[in-house]
Amino acid sequence: MNTLRGLHFQWNKPQGKLIRVTKGEAVFAELDIRYKSKTFGEHEKFILSDVNKYILWVPAGFANGFLALSEWCEVQYKCTAYYNPSGEGGILWNT
Is 7:94 a contact under the CB 8 Å cutoff?
A: no
Catalytic: which of 8, 35, 43, 83? 8
Look at strands 55-58 and 17-23 and give their pairing.
antiparallel
Query: Is position 77 annotated as part of the catalytic site?
Result: yes
Closest residue by Cα to residue 63 from 2, 21, 5, 1: 5
Catalytic: which of 35, 43, 77, 83? 77
Q: Which residues are catalytic?
A: 8, 77
